[in-house]
Amino acid sequence: MDHTQTRGLSDLLRVRFKGVLDAIGGILNRLGISPTTLTVAGLMGHVLAAIFLARGSLSLGGLILLLLAPVDAIDGTLARIRGESSKLGAFVDSVVDRYSEMLLFGALMIYFANRYEKDMVLWLFAAAAGSVLVSYARARGEALGFEVRSGLLTRLERYVILIPALLFGFVRIGLVLVALLANFTAVQRFLHVRKQALMGAGQ
């Protein structure tokens, strides 16, 4: 199987901007900043963004998320430069990512619930469920030995939709898109694993 065809946008960007990320990672390493520090800073930044989102300051919350966007790529790069890459580090990073994303969806649920927009609360539930299932499908599939990197809307793509939606005032459209496409991606990954399993059974 050609794995280059199954890379997500985040993987492709890491390859394309490897030189830039390495340079930034080198600077942070010389400053004595650890990957764990970046991971915690990212989580705290999401907490701050969630507070603003829940209060209705959607553009400010979106701006904070935009400023946080490079952190997710740089912490992994920094861990590699420092020789600290490990399965535990990857596990912690993945768990923190899930918490960070759910903080945003929870904050937006509070915002729309306070405005009595029940339809948006339901769309947010669908977006959160789809986002978790995309990650779970990959984690569970890879634990069983399948390749599960394909799919239309991974975490980076969800943020690519969500951040501009918050900044430019089309948050409702953005959330509906995330809800629909995240669940579509979860189904994509389910079918991808099913296909591999059936092919393996037929060999």
- Of 107 and 25, which is predicted with more confidence? 107
Give residue 161's pLDDT band: very low, low, confident or very high (50, 70, 90): very high
- Residue 12 in this model has a pLDDT that exceeds 80: no
For the question of whether the overall pTM of this predicted structure is more than 0.95, the answer is no
Instruction: Give the DSSP letter string of 110-141.
Output: HHHHHTT-HHHHHHHHHHHHHHHHHHHHHHHH
Among 3.30.70.360, 1.20.120.430, 1.20.120.1760, 1.20.272.10, name the CATH number for the domain at 3-202: 1.20.120.1760
The one-letter amino acid code at 88 reads L
Give residue 4's pLDDT band: very low, low, confident or very high (50, 70, 90): very low
8 Å CB contact between 131 and 183:
no
Active site residues: 97
Average pLDDT, the chain: 87
Cα Rg, the chain, nearest whole Å: 18
Per-residue model confidence as pLDDT tens digits over 93-146: 889 999 999 999 999 999 999 999 999 999 999 999 999 999 999 999 999 999
